[in-house]
Structure 1
Amino acid sequence: MHDDYVVIARLMIPTDAHVIRGCLAAAGIDVLLTDDQHMQADMLLAAAIGGARVMVREHDVARANDILAAFERGDLALADDADVGVPVAD
């Protein structure tokens, strides 16, 4: 089996791509984002480049797709009144 990176999602809003990256990384999945910086610099490029690409290694695709589906269903969302605690200072 190869361990190349494959695209699992293309997102037109770079911030969404970073949130997804955080969810995947929290699950221990090695993840890359591409083209997100181009879109941050000029949102008119989003349609031309096809959005920010979220990429994971081939062996993580099934697990990453499960996490992506849970995110899209709202399973990972916090309630508006959720207590997330006090920020920790470095």
Structure 2
Amino acid sequence: MNSSLKLIASFQYASEAQIVKARLEAEDIQVVINNEHTINTDPLISNAIGGVQLMVFEEDEAQAKKILESISKYSLDDEGEAIHCPNCNSSKIEYYTSITDFKSFIYFFVGFLFAVLPMYTKYSYRCENCKHKFNLK
């Protein structure tokens, strides 16, 4: 093989790169991961060295980028369908944790102070367009 490797994505953590690598390999695309062991050893240098780099051969670059675009980075429901904002109907919904009430703050503080797990946190969805916060229930 006389083709060069092309960078198609970079990730902060190796686990994210491994998931995408598995998806690309399922489509018979050979994948090379750079900096994986370095960042697993010291995650704080991820941004300094360009993250965990996902590379494919030049002839597979277009197909790999198409597959990457098909992977949704936003939240999906149990059936795999995009969740829509009840306010603006956008499908750019992120799942996040928040500390909004006194009970969750106390659990977070005690957990942080004594390094006790698990910490109590609430999870909600937030629309990236209108910033509306909501739950599915």
In structure 2, the gaps of 5 or more residues are 81-137
Normalised to the residue count of structure 2, the TM-score between the two structures is: 0.52
Normalised to the residue count of structure 1, the TM-score between the two structures is: 0.77
- Structure exhibiting the larger radius of gyration computed from Cα positions: 2
> For residues 9-52 of structure 1, what are the alpha-carbon distances to aligned partners after superposition, in whole Å with 9 as ceiling and x for unaligned?
11112111000100000000011001011111111110111100
Q: Who is 1:68 aligned against?
A: 68
Q: Which has the higher contact order (CA 8 A, sep 6+)?
A: 1
Name the SS for the 1:3 alignment partner: coil
> For residues 51-76 of structure 1, what are the alpha-carbon distances to aligned partners after superposition, in whole Å with 9 as ceiling and x for unaligned?
000000000000000111111x25xx
Write out aligned runs for 1:13-52 (5 A). Answer: 13-52=13-52
Identity %: 29
Structure whose residues are more often helix by fraction: 1
Distance 1:47 1:16 in 2: 15
* Root-mean-square deviation over aligned CA pairs: 2.0
Instruction: State how many pairs are aligned.
Output: 78
